[in-house]
Amino acid sequence: MTDQLPEIWNTTFTDHTINVRNIDFHITDGTTKRRKACAHAFLYPDGQPLTADLVPDYIFFNLQNLKEAYKAKTPDLAMISGGLFVISETFRDLLVPFDLDTTLIHEVPFYEVDQKTPRPGRWFIMHITAHKQTVIPELSENIKEVAAGSGYWRTRVAQTDVLSVRADAAIGADLLIDPHFRGRIFLSDRLKLSLKPAGIRVLRMPIRPCEVVA
């Protein structure tokens, strides 16, 4: 009898613009250059931690006259300006018992547009740095190299790829990225199974199985 291979899942959460909220971030050096550097770390994660000067001080709604219904329904996982990930206390608490390896979960004040009036609840920036080079391009379907010879890959047509991954991706972190595959987050089976019972609210987060290769 052969050992059963682990189940590993991936999500295209970052592909869906509906997940972007009207929320901005503040860093101490708010120059365009440093803000772009912060955004780059989220849009093109490489497994490296944020430098201290790029960790946001706080977040805030960035449009006047947003309806309270919109603000009150901020999902438990959302993207904000620059592609940064924001999670609620509910999601943070769910993640606590899981292996996150080096991933940063950093509490930030959340303000109204005046950047002074606090919003209710506790909110956190999440920067996923747990990583493995796990996608096997030659066994995956409907993917393409970002540039010939670059070693970086992406889906060819959104939502049509089938990713083959190494079984050792199931060892260690329950939430991770592959720095060589753009726009994808990988989840362990136990983390995937915990989301629905916990009532985690995300506007669009398709979770699809990977083809696991021993």
**Residue 51 predicted with pLDDT over 90:** yes
Q: Is 161 exposed, middle or buried (0-12, 13-18, 19+ CB in 10 A)?
A: buried
Element (H, E) at 36: helix 32-43
Q: What pLDDT is attached to residue 158?
A: 79
88 CB-side CA count, 13 A: 18
- The pLDDT-based confidence of 125 (bands split at 50, 70, 90) is very high
Q: Which of 20-29, 33-42, 150-159 has the lowest mean pLDDT?
A: 150-159
| C-alpha span between 113 and 64 (Å, rounded) | 6
Q: What pLDDT is attached to residue 203?
A: 98
- The pLDDT-based confidence of 96 (bands split at 50, 70, 90) is very high
Q: What is the mean pLDDT of residues 129-148?
A: 96
**DSSP code of residue 204:** S
**Residue 2 predicted with pLDDT over 80:** no
| C-alpha span between 83 and 20 (Å, rounded) | 8
Q: Which structure tokens are listed for 49?
A: 């931690």
**Residue 63 predicted with pLDDT over 50:** yes
**Residue 212 predicted with pLDDT over 50:** yes
Q: Give the start-end residues of each E strand in 6-89.
A: 8-11, 23-26, 58-61, 77-79, 85-88
Per-residue DSSP letters for 88-152?
EHHHHHHHTTS--TT-EEEEE-EE-TTSSSBPSS-EEEEE---B---B-GGG-BSEEESSTTS--
Q: Which residue is associated with the tokens 């720095």?
A: 179
Q: What pLDDT is attached to residue 1?
A: 41
